[in-house]
Amino acid sequence: MTGKPDILDAVSALKAKGEPFAIATVVRTISLTAAKAGAKATILADGTFSSGWIGGGCARAAVVRAAKAAIADGKPRLISVAPADLLKDLGVEPGQARDGVEFAKNACPSQGTMDVFIEPIVPKPELLICGASPVAIALADLGRQLGFQICASAAPEDMAHFAGLADTQRPSFDLAGLRQSERYIIVATQGRGDEAALTAAVAAPSRFVAFVGSRKKAAALRDALTRKGVAADVLAALRAPAGLDIAAVTPEEIALSILGDIIATRRQGQRNAE
């Protein structure tokens, strides 16, 4: 593993970058295996081993599959890579799961068994708020309490409103160069830079973009962005007015309705799957 970073340094670096990854730890071995209990590796979302080592090709493919699945759904996994004879004795097929253990076949001559725990490390979802209106401030406050990473974007003179609330700041609606991530963008400019903020928002990678304002204002902004060449399907996906219809009136209530919509989007299908 020459040239690759120490496992702890790699974990710290990946967390700092906000990049999703998984930690694979060998927790048990039986008979002959290349890696022993305690061996660790970090695996990126594309299946690349970025540091550490948990053995050769006999277990690698199974570990990569489990790591990619764990990163995708955020759930840890325990996999057991075992020889075909042992799987047969257990009455399981490769790819099956039983009692929380996922089984895979070890086709190597050593015919050892290795159990590997896969822990996904997935960054917090990001709430990117454009504007420094009362609704924007309420969104930052409540969103932080709900576990979102808060990014504030507003005119430079307005950024002080987010002191103690925002994890990152992007003054002047500069949303260029954002990495792909689980991001929700809310334009809550409320008359101060609506078009500039919305133009930047719809061009940035996100799960959805919502606009705080009336249907009439949203329609006018859609027309303006259409004239700028923004695709019709992008504008059709814009959520305006933002939030669930809970008859919200105050900034805090409006923020609650918007975050309710975000949570409903995030958790869609999860309750039935569990």
Q: Per-residue pLDDT averaged across 4-22, rounded?
A: 83
What is the Cα–Cα distance from 150 to 140, expressed in whole angstroms? 6
pLDDT tens-digit profile of 49-80? Answer: 989 988 777 788 889 999 999 998 889 999 99
Q: What residues contact residue 125 under an 8 Å CB cut-off, 6+ apart?
A: 147, 148, 149, 181, 182, 183, 184, 266
The Cα angle at residue 97 between residues 96 and 100, in degrees rounded to 5: 170
Cα(181)–Cα(125) distance, rounded to whole angstroms?
8
| CB-facing half-sphere around the CA of 229: CA atoms within 13 A | 1
Q: How confident is the model at residue 35 (pLDDT cuts 50, 70, 90)?
A: confident
Structure confidence at residue 4 as a pLDDT band (50, 70, 90) = low
Structural domains of the chain in order of their starting residue, each with its CATH number: 7-121 (no CATH), 126-273 (3.40.50.720)
Q: How confident is the model at residue 221 (pLDDT cuts 50, 70, 90)?
A: very high
Lowest mean pLDDT among 2-6, 177-181, 191-195: 2-6
Angle CA 21–23–25, to nearest 5 = 165
Cβ burial 212-230 (10 Å sphere, 16+ → b, else e): bbeeebbeebbeebeeeeb
Helix (H) or strand (E) segment spanning residue 74 = none
Q: Please name the amino acid found at residue 262.
A: I
Task: Note the pTM of the prediction, 2 decimals.
Answer: 0.72
Q: What is the pLDDT of residues 72-103, one digit of tens each?
A: 888 999 999 988 888 888 899 888 898 899 99
Q: Which of 3, 14, 60, 12 is nearest to 33 (CA)?
A: 60
CA within 13 Å, CB half, 125: 21
